Structure 1
Amino acid sequence: MPRVVPAVIRALDVLELFLDRAQLSAREVMERLDLPRTTVHELLVTLEARSYLISVPGQPVQYRLGMPLFQLGAAFAGRLDLVREAQSVARDVAAACNEAVHVAVLDGADVIYLVKVDSTHPVRMVSAVGRRLPAHCTAVGKVLLSGLDQAGLDAALSKGVLTGMTPDSITDPERLRAHLERIRAESVAVDIGESDSAMRCVAAAVRDHSGATIAAMSLSAPIIRWTPQVHVEWTGLVRDGAATLSARMGYRPQPR
């Protein structure tokens, strides 16, 4: 096995302390990592010499992250492939329940499906990658709409007329806005026959490194397989799947 370099591990430990703190003093680093004063001093001096940390004068001196870390993060973000990562996570979620899993993005007032992993059941959802549907009629779409700010939502609903796909579709703008408020509070959306009367669907948001909602993941099944018990189970599965994909896209939940 290749040897792990302890000094590099310690340097990375120091940098990771700044994930939830903007600035730290040498004493705070020493106390958090339980390292000797000399070791911490050498690590901080080395990281500052390479501009990975910047010292802020004061009593005591504080340290903050430097520009090279931003450059590395930007380079990593630029290489992320939402479709590739989504396909991998969707396969895992589908394998856990043998139902259809989709990942979609918002385009105006519509959703476009980027990824689909189908079930092996003879009765399953009819859909396709690249398909476009009205966002307000789908679970993924409602999650994505709920992630917009007020101006963005106003723009998405600017036509004022919401066309339904089934009798259960929400076609009143004010009712939809109230519905989206509940989705924001619950962080999950359900499509109860709103896009297809024979189908049920649950979806959760996928976020990027900034916390913005960039996609949504859903789990869909025919009504004949949708019971209260599997609703609870599949809601957990899609939440976990969306969280896994969010982590791969650089999202890190803020501590409560």
Structure 2
Amino acid sequence: MNQSVVKALKLLDFFLEGQKELTLGEITQKSGMPKPTVFRFLSSLEECGMLMKSRHTGQDVRYHLGLKLLELGNVVADQLEIRTISKPWMERLCHDVNEDVLLATLDGNEAVYIEKIESNQKVRLHIRVGKRSNLYTGSGPKLLLAFLSEEQRKNVIAQINIEENADHLIQSEEALFHHLEQIKNQGYSVSVGEQERETIGISYPIRDYSNQVIAALSVSGPVSRMHEQFLKEIQWKTKETALNISRELGYIE
């Protein structure tokens, strides 16, 4: 790909860092490129509809993501068969347990949340569709990592700084490998306070016609609501829902 195109598109990543609007100066500072070059790239992105410009004052001009990206995102979402098949089942599961239901899949060495059904609870998990996560934090990402081939798992884990990134239960590569084997053997994953404090996540695998795990179905909620009997109910219903989705994708037990 043309390097100018790559550099221009990479500027869009700065809007994924929690800021909805950025000035030319802020984008220049983040990119490390000369201001005239950044301005030229931004103008091209604006012309394509990927960025929009708003003028707050004569000197205060800011950029935000354009509607073209929403249009493209909707096309991508519609092409995701698993998302289309999973959504009605996720809605039913959310209705049954009244907790957030999430769907995550692999993209390279990361997990990406491709669907979320929110409960009507006041306290909910703050994970948006499109969010990326490492593969060693949270029940869904860890489940995806656990069901990778041994070689793929080793490659991912080799890139992790365990001491800096592991939660309090995992302090070494050996412990992480053991934890992942446990997840694979029991067929589901549980996390407590890993992505957000005082939350519990429970995830089960979704398989395709070839028996490959292609996604993780998760239910998440605050620890305060997850008493033992309710957890058992969530586990059973999440497992059944994941299996029903898998069957629609061609999986045969």
SS in 1 for 2:234: helix
Task: Tell me the alpha carbon deviations over residues 162-213 of structure 1, each in whole angstroms, 9 at most, x when there is no partner.
Answer: 4537x54635221111011111111010011122122101000000000000
- Give the direction of change, closer, same or farther, for the CA distance of 1:105–1:80 in structure 2 (3 Å limit): closer
C-alpha separation in 1, matches of 2:80 and 2:197: 36
Q: Residues of 2 paired with 1:152 and 1:237: CA distance?
A: 30
Taking a change above 3 Å as real, the CA distance of residues 214 and 221 of structure 1, as seen in their structure-2 partners, is same
Shift of 1:94: 0.5
Partner of 2:75: none
Whether the 8 Å contact between 1:104 and 1:217 is mirrored in structure 2 is: yes
Identity of aligned residues (%): 26
Partners of 1:233 and 1:220 in 2: how far apart?
13
Deviations along 1:63-109, one digit per CA (max 9) or x if unpaired, are xxxxxxxxxxxxxxxx9811111212111110111100001012233
Q: Give how far 1:144 is off.
A: 0.7
Hey, what does 2:161 align to over in structure 1?
A: 161
How far apart, in 2, do the equivalents of 1:250 and 1:185 lie?
A: 23
**Unaligned ranges ≥5, structure 1:** 1-78
- The answer to whether residue 96 in structure 2 is matched with residue 103 in structure 1 is no
2:174 is the alignment partner of 1:187: no
The 8 Å contact of residues 205 and 216 in structure 1, kept in 2 or not, is answered as: yes
**Alignment check: 8 A CA contact 2:104 2:217 kept:** yes
SS of the residue corresponding to residue 204 of structure 1 reads strand
For residue 89 of structure 1, what is the amino acid of its counterpart?
W
Question: What TM-score do you get using the length of structure 2 for normalisation?
Answer: 0.65
Q: Partners of 1:218 and 1:169 in 2: how far apart?
A: 20
Contact 1:169 1:194 in 2 (8 A): no
TM-score, normalised by the number of residues in structure 1: 0.64
Q: Distance in 1 between matches of 2:157 and 2:165?
A: 14
Aligned-residue Cα RMSD (Å) equals 1.7
1:100 and 1:168 map into 2 onto residues whose CA distance is 25
Equivalent in the alignment of 2:245 = 245
Q: Distance in 2 between matches of 1:171 and 1:132?
A: 23
Q: How many residues align?
A: 174
Secondary structure of 2:136 counterpart:
helix
CA contact (8 A) 1:168 1:193 kept: no
Shift in CA distance, 105/208, structure 1 to aligned 2, threshold 3 Å: same
Q: Give the AA of the match of 1:81.
A: E
User: Matched residue of 2:114: which SS?
Assistant: strand
Give the 3-state SS of the residue equivalent to 1:219 in structure 2. Answer: strand
Distance change >3 Å, CA 125–CA 80, structure 1 → 2: closer
Large movers: runs of 4+ above 6 Å: none
| C-alpha distance after superposition, 1:237-256 (max 9, x if no partner) | 11011101111111011xxx
Which deviates more from structure 2 when the two are superposed, residues 114-123 or residues 102-111? 102-111
Taking the TM superposition and a 5 Å limit, the aligned residue runs for 1:23-172 are: 81-162=81-162, 163-164=164-165, 167-168=167-168, 170-172=170-172
**Residue identity in the other structure for 1:200:** I
CA distance in 2: counterparts of 1:222 and 1:211, whole angstroms? 32
Cα distance between partner residues in 1 of 2:142 and 2:232 = 19
Is it true that 1:227 corresponds to 2:227 in the alignment? yes
Give the equivalent residue in structure 1 for 2:32. none
Instruction: Give 5+ residue unaligned stretches, structure 2.
Output: 1-78
8 Å CA contact 2:125, 2:196 repeated in 1 = no
